[in-house]
A and B are shown apart, each in its own frame.
Chain A
Amino acid sequence: MSLTDLSANLLYVAFFAYLIAAIVFGGAVKGNKEGSFQSEGRWGKIAFIITIAALSPT
């Protein structure tokens, strides 16, 4: 696999990882019933880790 093909495939991976992270962030926001705007919670942390993992391929 050439570097160009690899980068294209990694972009797909990043795209779907961002998609998952966006959904998880949405869940984290919806699930935050305490009214604390800065409470990231478990799902917030998970979404953040997915975002960083996704950033690496792009």
Chain B
Amino acid sequence: MGQNRIHHHHRGFIANLGYFFTRWGATGHAPLSNMFEFTTAFGMTLVAGFIVIYALYKTPVVGMVVLPVALLIIAFASMFPSEVSPLIPALQSNWLAIHVSTVVLAEGVLAISAAAGLIYLLKVVDLNKKSKQRFWLEAIMYSLVLVVGFVVASSYFTLTGYQSDFTYVDKEGAAAEITYHMPAIFGMHEYEQLSEDKMTPLMETPAVVNAGKLTTVTWSLIVGTILYWLIRLIARKRIAAIFKPFVKNVNLQLMDEIGYRAVIIGFPLFSLGALIFAMIWAQIAWSRFWGWDPKEVWALVTWLFYAAYLHLRLGKGWHGEKSAWLGVIGFAIIMFNLVAVNLIIAGLHSYA
């Protein structure tokens, strides 16, 4: 019976690899080239990391946190265009597969550290007492609801077929066009509205900001906040408190160990993918190893953060709750790098 189960697992992984390489064959490149493909792969590597952890520690509670987060990530991914399109010239390289697959794997593993940290915090933070910890734990739950807000807002405006066209001047000073799929809260630099009877932007942004994507983020904030308060009103307690009964039997030492192990595996992978491989490819594609592109800067910030995590844990004895907070903050930085840097700030990595 046990052996049969193991065989099922092996078949699942072989099918997964089969799917990945079939899509690779169909598109002619590694399916990691835009926000849809990268974010879907991120959800997948997160679950893959969990499977390894589960096989080692048999801890269902980690699955109870990781799987909903993976669901949110996949739902978030599905809001981006999923059509197969030819690669832009800068991406036509074998380094796409090498660099991006290492990064996505590293981020999936590092996210396990955040999941273990979140479980740790849900157990130790006293929700009946006013404290900074209670505030920030609830802020984490609020940010997860914001992702649901993004999915709800995107789905609603897609279903209603909302479209509004604008012309604007990009950061190189060239004329360009953009179509908003949500009512425009922010206008692009020196915009001119082409569609009639559609919402006029409340404010114009500088050329370095993608106002279309900023509008999407703002709508997600609005809808997510409404959803958050609806949940609070219905449950009549903080969202963190809803999860308290699920973590009462959690072994804190084990969660601390899982969080730490995830970082010691994820950190070297991230160093390799996001810095070393990235720099090699940058040299090939753009004739420089480093150019202070927003994505490069935030990859460095992420790397420095996890280096500090290891330093503080190994050198200063930051175990337990402090380590758990660091794991969660690391994930927040990864998500900021994925969402804000890719979508809002115009740079060399704005492919979606």
Contact = CB atoms under 8 A, between A and B. Distances in A.
B40 A48 contact: no
B82 interface: yes
Contacts of A44: 58, 60, 63
B254 A38 contact: yes
Nearest to B47: A55
Given A18-B67, A49-B8, A52-B51, A58 B43 contact: yes
A44 B71 CA distance: 18
B71 to A, nearest CB: 5
Interface in B43-69: 43-44, 47-48, 50-51, 54, 57-61, 63-64, 67-68
B49 to A, nearest CB: 11
Contacts of B287: none
Contact of B246 (A7, A30, A38): A30
Contacts of B58: 38-40, 44
Interface in A1-58: 3-4, 7-8, 10-11, 14-15, 18-19, 21-22, 25-26, 28-30, 32, 35-41, 43-45, 47-49, 51-58
A57 B326 CA distance: 33
Residue with the greatest number of chain B CB neighbours at <10 A, chosen from A14, A32, A35: A14
Contacts of B12: 52-53, 55-56
Contacts of A10: 19
A34 to B, nearest CB: 8
A41 B47 CA distance: 20
A22 to B, nearest CB: 4
A3 B26 contact: yes
* Residues of B in contact with A, size category: 35 or more
Given A38-B251, A51-B47, A51-B50, A32 B67 contact: no
Contact of A48 (B48, B54, B74, B250): B54
Given A15-B75, A51-B51, A56-B16, A36 B60 contact: no
Contacts of B75: 15
Contacts of B26: 3-4
A49 B249 CA distance: 23
Contacts of A22: 63-64, 67-68, 71
Contact of B74 (A18, A21, A40): A18
Given A4-B26, A22-B64, A56-B12, A15 B59 contact: no
Interface of B: 5, 8-9, 11-13, 15-16, 19, 22-23, 26, 40, 43-44, 47-48, 50-51, 54, 57-61, 63-64, 67-68, 70-71, 74-75, 78, 82-84, 245-247, 249-251, 254
18 contacts: A4-B83, A15-B71, A15-B74, A22-B71, A25-B60, A25-B61, A28-B60, A29-B64, A37-B59, A38-B57, A38-B58, A38-B251, A39-B58, A40-B59, A53-B12, A55-B48, A56-B11, A56-B19
